[in-house]
Amino acid sequence: MDILEEYRGQSDRTICIVGTIILSTKICMVDGKFSLYEKDEILKTFPTNDPKKKETILDIIDKASKDKNDVVYHAERIKKFVDPEHDKFLDFIVATLIKFAKSDHHFDDKEKKLISKVIDVFNDHKKLSLLQKIKKKMRVN
């Protein structure tokens, strides 16, 4: 089952958070490994004192790390669920992906390409001059 399908009836904010966790996990795995440090960074980005919410986040990370779909698939799914009126959520997702890509102090070309693909998908959804500027700054075609 698609990870986002479980959250289909939730708010755009929830879909954004779940989608960000999924895509962040995918970005962290681009080098072939997903470290505890990277997992902790995701948990720090979405802090909670509620053990049930933390378990939900860990479950999403686990499912995303095993999921065979690529970032384009997940970006398309997120785009489908997020209302165009809430396009700032898409900006947040891209900014968070960049944060994770740089968290190991090395912004790899593979990470840039994955983020670029997400930006391309999201650009269909809104008038994204901001994301185009980000993509240009990353120097990814």
Mean pLDDT of the region 37-58? 91
pLDDT band at residue 138 using 50, 70 and 90 as cut-offs = low
| CB-based burial label for 123 (10 Å; 0-12, 13-18, 19+) | middle
Angle at 109 between CA 25 and CA 61, to 5 degrees: 0
Is the per-residue pLDDT at 128 higher than 50?
no
- pLDDT of 108 reads 81
- pLDDT of 38 reads 84
Give the residue numbers spanning the domain of 68: 4-138
9 or 34, higher pLDDT: 9
Is the per-residue pLDDT at 140 higher than 70?
no
Is the per-residue pLDDT at 54 higher than 90?
yes
How many domains are contained in the chain? 1
Based on C-alpha coordinates, what's the Rg of the chain? 14
The candidate with the shortest Cα–Cα distance to 97, out of 74, 82, 114, 83, is 114
